[in-house]
Amino acid sequence: MKVITMESSAFTALTEQIAEIAAHVRAVSGESKGESPDRLLTTREAAHLLNVSCRTLQRMRSEQRIAYVVLRGKCRYRQSEIDRLLEDSTVTGDAATPEELKRNHTLRTGGGKPRGRRT
């Protein structure tokens, strides 16, 4: 084992340079994560994130309320689509305009759509 000695000022400068390099690597790796395409979620994962059943998710597909991709016969959902659906379904607590109040009322009451069995 070799022991290397150096002045404390040189050691401090070296550790500062290493910290700068590490910060640069973190910044570059963070940018590449932002540029990556949307993650595709399975039906179970999407249903879990939306807190609905797989059957409800199927119904949402049929009603064209959620976009999906079919790969090898399996439905997949983009993470951005799940985020969009959650954002669109969020009731704001401080509605200031009549449009926001109407939107909140529509979300809370289900939009006035008839419920029950289909015939």
pLDDT mean by block of 10 residues, the chain; 119 residues: 86 89 83 65 92 94 93 93 86 77 76 58
Tens digit of each residue's pLDDT (9 = 90 or more) over 49-65: 999 999 999 999 999 99
Give the pLDDT confidence score for residue 78 in this predicted structure.
94
* pTM reported for the whole predicted model: 0.55
Nearest to 93 by CA among 108, 110, 112: 108
Tens digit of each residue's pLDDT (9 = 90 or more) over 73-89: 999 999 999 998 888 88
Q: Which residues of 44-68 are buried (b: 16+ CB within 10 A; e: fewer)?
A: eebbeebeeeeeebeebeeeeebeb
Give the pLDDT confidence score for residue 66 in this predicted structure.
93
Give the pLDDT confidence score for residue 40 in this predicted structure.
92
